[in-house]
Structure 1
Protein backbone atom coordinates (compact mmCIF):
# COMPACT_ATOMS: atom_id res chain seq x y z
CA UNK A 1 0.00 0.00 0.00
CA UNK A 2 1.32 3.47 -0.90
CA UNK A 3 2.39 5.83 1.88
CA UNK A 4 -0.13 8.50 0.79
CA UNK A 5 -2.92 6.02 1.37
CA UNK A 6 -1.93 5.85 5.05
CA UNK A 7 -2.07 9.61 5.56
CA UNK A 8 -5.25 11.11 6.83
CA UNK A 9 -6.84 14.19 5.29
CA UNK A 10 -5.19 16.53 7.79
CA UNK A 11 -1.71 15.31 6.95
CA UNK A 12 -2.41 15.59 3.20
CA UNK A 13 -3.70 19.16 3.52
CA UNK A 14 -0.62 20.09 5.55
CA UNK A 15 1.58 18.75 2.78
CA UNK A 16 -0.29 20.80 0.18
CA UNK A 17 0.01 23.98 2.29
CA UNK A 18 3.71 23.41 2.85
CA UNK A 19 4.27 22.79 -0.86
CA UNK A 20 2.45 25.99 -1.82
CA UNK A 21 4.41 27.90 0.82
CA UNK A 22 7.70 26.68 -0.56
CA UNK A 23 6.83 26.79 -4.25
CA UNK A 24 4.03 29.33 -4.51
CA UNK A 25 6.26 32.22 -5.61
CA UNK A 26 7.76 30.17 -8.43
CA UNK A 27 4.34 28.93 -9.50
CA UNK A 28 2.90 32.45 -9.63
CA UNK A 29 6.00 33.70 -11.41
CA UNK A 30 5.68 30.96 -14.02
CA UNK A 31 2.04 31.83 -14.64
CA UNK A 32 2.92 35.54 -14.91
CA UNK A 33 5.73 34.77 -17.37
CA UNK A 34 3.42 32.62 -19.46
CA UNK A 35 0.80 35.37 -19.60
CA UNK A 36 3.49 37.93 -20.51
CA UNK A 37 4.67 35.76 -23.37
CA UNK A 38 1.11 35.30 -24.67
CA UNK A 39 0.34 39.03 -24.53
CA UNK A 40 3.77 39.86 -25.97
CA UNK A 41 3.20 37.51 -28.91
CA UNK A 42 -0.25 38.97 -29.58
CA UNK A 43 1.21 42.51 -29.50
CA UNK A 44 4.00 41.56 -31.91
CA UNK A 45 1.54 39.96 -34.39
CA UNK A 46 -0.72 43.02 -34.22
CA UNK A 47 2.25 45.38 -34.64
CA UNK A 48 3.50 43.38 -37.63
CA UNK A 49 0.08 43.44 -39.27
CA UNK A 50 -0.19 47.19 -38.74
CA UNK A 51 3.22 47.70 -40.34
CA UNK A 52 2.24 45.52 -43.29
CA UNK A 53 -0.97 47.47 -43.82
CA UNK A 54 0.92 50.77 -43.66
CA UNK A 55 3.52 49.42 -46.10
CA UNK A 56 0.86 48.35 -48.57
CA UNK A 57 -0.87 51.73 -48.37
CA UNK A 58 2.41 53.51 -49.17
CA UNK A 59 3.10 51.04 -51.97
CA UNK A 60 -0.36 51.65 -53.45
CA UNK A 61 0.29 55.40 -53.44
CA UNK A 62 3.66 54.88 -55.14
CA UNK A 63 2.14 52.64 -57.83
CA UNK A 64 -0.59 55.20 -58.47
CA UNK A 65 2.06 57.89 -58.93
CA UNK A 66 4.11 55.64 -61.22
CA UNK A 67 1.07 55.19 -63.44
CA UNK A 68 0.66 58.96 -63.75
CA UNK A 69 2.42 61.48 -65.95
CA UNK A 70 4.83 62.88 -63.37
CA UNK A 71 7.70 60.44 -62.84
CA UNK A 72 9.47 62.90 -60.55
CA UNK A 73 6.54 62.69 -58.17
CA UNK A 74 6.64 58.91 -58.51
CA UNK A 75 10.34 58.92 -57.64
CA UNK A 76 9.57 60.94 -54.52
CA UNK A 77 6.86 58.46 -53.47
CA UNK A 78 9.17 55.48 -54.01
CA UNK A 79 12.00 57.22 -52.15
CA UNK A 80 9.68 57.86 -49.19
CA UNK A 81 8.62 54.22 -49.17
CA UNK A 82 12.24 53.03 -49.25
CA UNK A 83 13.18 55.40 -46.46
CA UNK A 84 10.33 54.15 -44.28
CA UNK A 85 11.02 50.44 -44.87
CA UNK A 86 14.04 49.88 -47.14
CA UNK A 87 14.03 46.09 -46.73
CA UNK A 88 10.32 45.53 -47.31
CA UNK A 89 9.06 43.65 -50.32
CA UNK A 90 6.73 46.55 -51.12
CA UNK A 91 9.67 48.95 -51.40
CA UNK A 92 11.59 46.61 -53.73
CA UNK A 93 8.53 46.06 -55.94
CA UNK A 94 7.95 49.81 -56.17
CA UNK A 95 11.56 50.31 -57.29
CA UNK A 96 11.17 47.76 -60.08
CA UNK A 97 7.89 49.26 -61.25
CA UNK A 98 9.40 52.74 -61.28
CA UNK A 99 12.33 51.48 -63.38
CA UNK A 100 9.91 49.89 -65.83
CA UNK A 101 8.04 53.18 -66.20
CA UNK A 102 11.31 55.02 -66.75
CA UNK A 103 12.29 52.60 -69.51
CA UNK A 104 8.94 53.16 -71.23
CA UNK A 105 9.59 56.91 -70.98
CA UNK A 106 13.03 56.31 -72.55
CA UNK A 107 14.77 57.52 -69.39
CA UNK A 108 17.36 54.75 -69.51
CA UNK A 109 19.96 56.38 -67.25
CA UNK A 110 17.30 57.06 -64.63
CA UNK A 111 16.07 53.46 -64.89
CA UNK A 112 19.60 52.14 -64.33
CA UNK A 113 20.00 54.34 -61.27
CA UNK A 114 16.66 53.12 -59.94
CA UNK A 115 17.51 49.45 -60.43
CA UNK A 116 20.71 49.94 -58.44
CA UNK A 117 18.56 50.88 -55.44
CA UNK A 118 17.31 47.31 -55.01
CA UNK A 119 18.88 45.97 -51.83
CA UNK A 120 21.73 43.49 -52.24
CA UNK A 121 19.98 40.92 -50.04
CA UNK A 122 16.58 41.36 -51.67
CA UNK A 123 15.07 38.38 -53.54
CA UNK A 124 14.42 40.91 -56.32
CA UNK A 125 18.14 41.67 -56.78
CA UNK A 126 18.82 39.06 -59.51
CA UNK A 127 15.79 40.27 -61.45
CA UNK A 128 16.91 43.91 -61.10
CA UNK A 129 20.48 43.12 -62.20
CA UNK A 130 19.22 41.16 -65.21
CA UNK A 131 17.19 44.12 -66.43
CA UNK A 132 20.02 46.52 -65.64
CA UNK A 133 22.35 44.40 -67.79
CA UNK A 134 19.89 44.57 -70.68
CA UNK A 135 19.81 48.34 -70.34
CA UNK A 136 23.61 48.44 -70.29
CA UNK A 137 23.69 46.43 -73.52
CA UNK A 138 21.19 48.83 -75.07
CA UNK A 139 23.34 51.76 -73.94
CA UNK A 140 26.43 50.27 -75.61
CA UNK A 141 28.12 49.27 -72.35
CA UNK A 142 28.51 45.49 -72.75
CA UNK A 143 31.57 45.25 -70.51
CA UNK A 144 29.56 46.69 -67.63
CA UNK A 145 26.78 44.19 -68.34
CA UNK A 146 29.23 41.27 -68.28
CA UNK A 147 30.65 42.47 -64.97
CA UNK A 148 27.20 42.93 -63.45
CA UNK A 149 26.13 39.38 -64.32
CA UNK A 150 29.45 37.69 -63.55
CA UNK A 151 28.10 35.98 -60.40
CA UNK A 152 24.86 34.70 -61.95
CA UNK A 153 24.40 31.34 -63.67
CA UNK A 154 20.68 31.25 -64.44
CA UNK A 155 19.80 30.61 -68.11
CA UNK A 156 18.39 34.13 -68.51
CA UNK A 157 21.48 35.76 -67.02
CA UNK A 158 23.77 33.63 -69.18
CA UNK A 159 21.83 34.59 -72.29
CA UNK A 160 22.10 38.32 -71.56
CA UNK A 161 25.77 37.91 -70.70
CA UNK A 162 26.26 36.13 -74.01
CA UNK A 163 24.59 39.06 -75.78
CA UNK A 164 27.03 41.43 -74.06
CA UNK A 165 30.02 39.32 -75.03
CA UNK A 166 28.91 39.31 -78.67
CA UNK A 167 28.55 43.08 -78.56
CA UNK A 168 32.03 43.33 -77.04
CA UNK A 169 33.44 41.18 -79.86
CA UNK A 170 34.31 38.25 -77.58
CA UNK A 171 32.66 35.61 -79.73
CA UNK A 172 34.37 32.54 -78.29
CA UNK A 173 33.29 33.46 -74.77
CA UNK A 174 29.84 34.28 -76.09
CA UNK A 175 29.49 30.84 -77.68
CA UNK A 176 30.49 29.11 -74.44
CA UNK A 177 28.04 31.25 -72.49
CA UNK A 178 25.16 30.56 -74.88
CA UNK A 179 25.86 26.83 -74.64
CA UNK A 180 25.74 27.00 -70.84
CA UNK A 181 22.47 28.90 -71.05
CA UNK A 182 20.96 26.22 -73.29
CA UNK A 183 21.88 23.40 -70.92
CA UNK A 184 19.65 24.98 -68.27
CA UNK A 185 16.64 25.38 -70.55
CA UNK A 186 13.90 22.93 -71.39
CA UNK A 187 14.39 21.37 -74.81
CA UNK A 188 10.92 22.48 -75.90
CA UNK A 189 11.36 26.03 -74.60
CA UNK A 190 10.92 28.76 -77.26
CA UNK A 191 13.63 30.75 -75.49
CA UNK A 192 16.07 27.88 -76.00
CA UNK A 193 15.43 28.09 -79.71
CA UNK A 194 16.20 31.81 -79.63
CA UNK A 195 19.47 31.18 -77.81
CA UNK A 196 20.31 28.51 -80.41
CA UNK A 197 19.88 31.14 -83.14
CA UNK A 198 22.11 33.56 -81.23
CA UNK A 199 24.70 30.83 -80.83
CA UNK A 200 24.67 30.16 -84.56
CA UNK A 201 25.07 33.84 -85.36
CA UNK A 202 28.04 33.92 -83.00
CA UNK A 203 29.67 31.15 -85.05
CA UNK A 204 28.72 28.21 -82.88
CA UNK A 205 26.77 25.02 -83.46
CA UNK A 206 23.72 24.27 -81.30
CA UNK A 207 23.81 20.79 -79.74
CA UNK A 208 21.51 18.25 -81.35
CA UNK A 209 20.50 17.95 -84.98
CA UNK A 210 16.98 19.12 -84.18
CA UNK A 211 18.39 22.51 -83.23
CA UNK A 212 20.61 23.02 -86.24
CA UNK A 213 19.81 26.30 -87.90
Structure 2
Protein backbone atom coordinates (compact mmCIF):
# COMPACT_ATOMS: atom_id res chain seq x y z
CA UNK A 1 0.00 0.00 0.00
CA UNK A 2 1.35 3.42 -0.92
CA UNK A 3 2.26 5.86 1.81
CA UNK A 4 -0.11 8.74 2.43
CA UNK A 5 1.16 12.21 1.56
CA UNK A 6 1.60 12.96 5.27
CA UNK A 7 3.66 9.81 5.82
CA UNK A 8 5.84 10.65 2.83
CA UNK A 9 6.53 14.17 4.10
CA UNK A 10 7.35 12.94 7.61
CA UNK A 11 9.67 10.27 6.24
CA UNK A 12 11.58 12.84 4.18
CA UNK A 13 11.85 15.25 7.13
CA UNK A 14 13.14 12.49 9.39
CA UNK A 15 15.69 11.29 6.83
CA UNK A 16 17.02 14.80 6.16
CA UNK A 17 17.37 15.47 9.88
CA UNK A 18 19.20 12.21 10.51
CA UNK A 19 21.51 12.29 7.49
CA UNK A 20 22.21 15.90 6.58
CA UNK A 21 23.50 17.75 9.65
CA UNK A 22 27.03 16.38 9.47
CA UNK A 23 27.11 16.85 5.70
CA UNK A 24 26.01 20.49 5.91
CA UNK A 25 28.60 21.15 8.62
CA UNK A 26 31.26 19.61 6.42
CA UNK A 27 30.17 21.74 3.47
CA UNK A 28 30.35 24.94 5.50
CA UNK A 29 33.76 24.08 6.95
CA UNK A 30 34.97 23.14 3.50
CA UNK A 31 33.74 26.41 2.07
CA UNK A 32 35.60 28.29 4.78
CA UNK A 33 38.82 26.64 3.67
CA UNK A 34 38.08 27.27 0.00
CA UNK A 35 37.21 30.90 0.56
CA UNK A 36 40.39 31.36 2.52
CA UNK A 37 42.50 31.06 -0.63
CA UNK A 38 40.10 31.76 -3.49
CA UNK A 39 38.75 35.10 -2.35
CA UNK A 40 42.08 36.88 -2.19
CA UNK A 41 40.71 40.14 -3.57
CA UNK A 42 39.57 42.55 -0.86
CA UNK A 43 36.12 43.15 -2.33
CA UNK A 44 35.55 39.45 -2.90
CA UNK A 45 36.66 38.67 0.63
CA UNK A 46 34.23 41.20 2.08
CA UNK A 47 31.42 39.84 -0.10
CA UNK A 48 32.15 36.28 1.00
CA UNK A 49 32.22 37.31 4.66
CA UNK A 50 28.89 39.10 4.32
CA UNK A 51 27.37 36.07 2.60
CA UNK A 52 28.69 33.81 5.35
CA UNK A 53 27.12 36.00 8.03
CA UNK A 54 23.77 36.03 6.24
CA UNK A 55 23.87 32.27 5.81
CA UNK A 56 24.55 31.78 9.51
CA UNK A 57 21.58 34.00 10.35
CA UNK A 58 19.49 32.04 7.87
CA UNK A 59 20.29 28.76 9.62
CA UNK A 60 19.32 30.21 13.00
CA UNK A 61 16.09 31.70 11.64
CA UNK A 62 15.10 28.48 9.88
CA UNK A 63 14.38 26.83 13.24
CA UNK A 64 11.58 29.18 14.32
CA UNK A 65 11.30 32.00 11.77
CA UNK A 66 10.85 30.42 8.33
CA UNK A 67 9.71 33.64 6.67
CA UNK A 68 12.86 35.46 7.81
CA UNK A 69 14.96 32.50 6.72
CA UNK A 70 13.30 32.55 3.30
CA UNK A 71 13.99 36.27 2.89
CA UNK A 72 17.65 35.78 3.80
CA UNK A 73 17.96 32.86 1.39
CA UNK A 74 16.46 34.92 -1.42
CA UNK A 75 18.88 37.75 -0.58
CA UNK A 76 21.82 35.36 -0.92
CA UNK A 77 20.54 34.09 -4.25
CA UNK A 78 19.91 37.58 -5.62
CA UNK A 79 22.89 39.56 -4.30
CA UNK A 80 25.55 36.94 -3.57
CA UNK A 81 25.04 34.56 -6.47
CA UNK A 82 28.77 34.41 -7.22
CA UNK A 83 29.50 32.96 -3.79
CA UNK A 84 28.95 29.31 -2.83
CA UNK A 85 26.36 30.45 -0.29
CA UNK A 86 23.79 31.09 -3.01
CA UNK A 87 23.56 27.36 -3.68
CA UNK A 88 23.46 26.62 0.05
CA UNK A 89 20.51 29.02 0.19
CA UNK A 90 18.70 26.88 -2.39
CA UNK A 91 19.31 23.84 -0.19
CA UNK A 92 17.80 25.67 2.77
CA UNK A 93 14.81 26.75 0.69
CA UNK A 94 14.30 23.13 -0.30
CA UNK A 95 14.25 22.13 3.37
CA UNK A 96 11.74 24.90 4.14
CA UNK A 97 9.56 23.70 1.25
CA UNK A 98 9.54 20.16 2.64
CA UNK A 99 8.52 21.59 6.01
CA UNK A 100 5.58 23.22 4.25
CA UNK A 101 4.65 19.96 2.47
CA UNK A 102 5.60 21.42 -0.93
CA UNK A 103 7.69 18.66 -2.49
CA UNK A 104 7.47 20.12 -6.00
CA UNK A 105 9.10 23.37 -4.87
CA UNK A 106 11.70 21.43 -2.90
CA UNK A 107 12.57 19.45 -6.02
CA UNK A 108 12.96 22.67 -8.04
CA UNK A 109 15.51 24.06 -5.57
CA UNK A 110 17.40 20.77 -5.40
CA UNK A 111 17.55 20.49 -9.18
CA UNK A 112 18.91 24.05 -9.35
CA UNK A 113 21.80 23.08 -7.08
CA UNK A 114 22.37 19.75 -8.79
CA UNK A 115 22.61 21.38 -12.23
CA UNK A 116 24.27 24.71 -11.43
CA UNK A 117 26.57 24.41 -8.41
CA UNK A 118 30.30 24.49 -9.09
CA UNK A 119 30.98 22.40 -6.00
CA UNK A 120 30.68 18.58 -6.22
CA UNK A 121 29.68 18.27 -2.56
CA UNK A 122 26.77 20.68 -3.00
CA UNK A 123 25.67 18.84 -6.14
CA UNK A 124 25.89 15.52 -4.32
CA UNK A 125 23.87 16.69 -1.32
CA UNK A 126 21.15 18.01 -3.62
CA UNK A 127 21.20 14.74 -5.55
CA UNK A 128 20.80 12.48 -2.50
CA UNK A 129 18.04 14.69 -1.08
CA UNK A 130 16.22 14.61 -4.41
CA UNK A 131 16.65 10.85 -4.53
CA UNK A 132 15.18 10.57 -1.03
CA UNK A 133 12.08 12.47 -2.12
CA UNK A 134 11.64 9.98 -4.96
CA UNK A 135 12.23 7.04 -2.63
CA UNK A 136 9.76 8.26 0.00
CA UNK A 137 7.25 8.89 -2.79
CA UNK A 138 7.67 5.23 -3.77
CA UNK A 139 9.37 5.95 -7.08
CA UNK A 140 12.32 3.54 -6.78
CA UNK A 141 13.24 3.72 -10.46
CA UNK A 142 13.48 7.49 -10.22
CA UNK A 143 15.68 7.09 -7.15
CA UNK A 144 18.09 4.82 -9.01
CA UNK A 145 18.22 7.15 -12.01
CA UNK A 146 19.11 10.14 -9.83
CA UNK A 147 21.80 8.13 -8.04
CA UNK A 148 23.33 6.82 -11.27
CA UNK A 149 25.88 9.67 -11.30
CA UNK A 150 29.27 9.43 -9.62
CA UNK A 151 29.27 10.90 -6.11
CA UNK A 152 32.06 12.00 -3.74
CA UNK A 153 33.25 9.30 -1.35
CA UNK A 154 31.57 10.98 1.63
CA UNK A 155 28.17 10.20 0.08
CA UNK A 156 28.90 6.60 -0.89
CA UNK A 157 27.24 4.92 2.09
CA UNK A 158 24.10 7.09 2.03
CA UNK A 159 23.71 6.59 -1.73
CA UNK A 160 24.17 2.81 -1.53
CA UNK A 161 21.69 2.58 1.33
CA UNK A 162 19.09 4.36 -0.81
CA UNK A 163 19.95 2.15 -3.78
CA UNK A 164 19.32 -0.83 -1.53
CA UNK A 165 15.98 0.60 -0.41
CA UNK A 166 15.02 1.26 -4.04
CA UNK A 167 15.93 -2.26 -5.16
CA UNK A 168 13.95 -3.63 -2.23
CA UNK A 169 10.90 -1.64 -3.33
CA UNK A 170 11.36 -3.06 -6.83
CA UNK A 171 11.57 -6.59 -5.43
CA UNK A 172 15.17 -7.14 -6.56
CA UNK A 173 16.49 -8.48 -3.28
CA UNK A 174 19.84 -9.63 -4.65
CA UNK A 175 20.63 -6.11 -5.82
CA UNK A 176 19.35 -4.74 -2.51
CA UNK A 177 21.67 -7.02 -0.53
CA UNK A 178 24.65 -6.00 -2.67
CA UNK A 179 23.86 -2.31 -2.22
CA UNK A 180 23.51 -2.67 1.56
CA UNK A 181 26.83 -4.53 1.69
CA UNK A 182 28.52 -1.66 -0.14
CA UNK A 183 26.85 0.82 2.23
CA UNK A 184 28.13 -1.11 5.25
CA UNK A 185 31.65 -1.28 3.81
CA UNK A 186 31.85 2.47 3.25
CA UNK A 187 29.94 3.59 6.36
CA UNK A 188 31.77 5.84 8.80
CA UNK A 189 31.31 4.62 12.35
CA UNK A 190 28.51 2.37 13.56
CA UNK A 191 26.44 0.70 10.83
CA UNK A 192 24.16 -1.55 12.90
CA UNK A 193 21.00 -0.24 11.24
CA UNK A 194 22.48 -0.98 7.81
CA UNK A 195 23.32 -4.49 8.94
CA UNK A 196 19.75 -4.90 10.18
CA UNK A 197 18.41 -3.84 6.77
CA UNK A 198 20.74 -6.31 5.09
CA UNK A 199 19.93 -9.16 7.46
CA UNK A 200 16.18 -8.55 7.18
CA UNK A 201 16.37 -9.56 3.53
CA UNK A 202 17.65 -12.98 4.54
CA UNK A 203 14.15 -14.15 5.38
CA UNK A 204 12.97 -13.49 1.84
CA UNK A 205 13.81 -15.39 -1.31
CA UNK A 206 13.78 -13.58 -4.64
CA UNK A 207 14.79 -16.61 -6.70
CA UNK A 208 12.24 -17.92 -9.24
TM over 0.5: yes
Aligned equivalent of 2:192: 193
Structure 2 CA distance for partners of 1:204 and 1:178, relative to 1, 3 Å: farther
CA distance in 2 between counterparts of 1:156 and 1:48 reads: 35
- Measured in 2, the distance between the counterparts of 1:56 and 1:98 equals 16
The separation in 2 between residues aligned to 1:47 and 1:69, in whole angstroms, is 30
Equivalent residue number for residue 89 of structure 1: 84
Structure 1 gap ranges (5+): 1-43, 206-213
Q: For structure 1, which segment, 142-151 or 78-87, has the greater mean C-alpha deviation from structure 2 after superposition? A: 78-87
1:101-142 deviation digits (Å, cap 9, x = unpaired): 222222222212111121343231111211111111111211
Q: Residues of 1 paired with 2:93 and 2:167: CA distance?
A: 28
Q: In the comparison of the two structures, how many residue pairs are matched? A: 157
> How high is the TM-score relative to the length of structure 1?
0.61
Structure 2 unaligned segments of length 5 or more: list them.
1-39
Could you tell me which residue of structure 1 aligns to residue 166 of structure 2? 164
Task: Say whether the 8 Å CA contact 1:92–1:124 is kept in structure 2.
Answer: yes
Match of 2:131 in 1: 133
Q: Choose between structure 1 and 2 for higher RCO, CA contacts under 8 A separated by at least 6 residues.
A: 2
Q: Normalized per residue, which structure has more helix? A: 2
Decide whether aligned partners of structure 1 residues 179 and 53 sit closer, same or farther in structure 2, where only a CA change above 3 A counts: closer
Larger radius of gyration: 1
Instruction: Call closer, same or farther: CA 1:114–1:204 in 2, change over 3 Å.
Output: farther
Matches within 5 A, 1:64-75: 66=62, 67-70=64-67, 74=70
CA offset digits 1:31-80 (Å, max 9, x no partner): xxxxxxxxxxxxx6321223224434654675577553549x92x65345
For residues 88-107 of structure 1, the C-alpha deviation after alignment (integer angstroms, 9 at most, x for no partner) is 22112222222222222222
Report what 1:155 is aligned to. 157
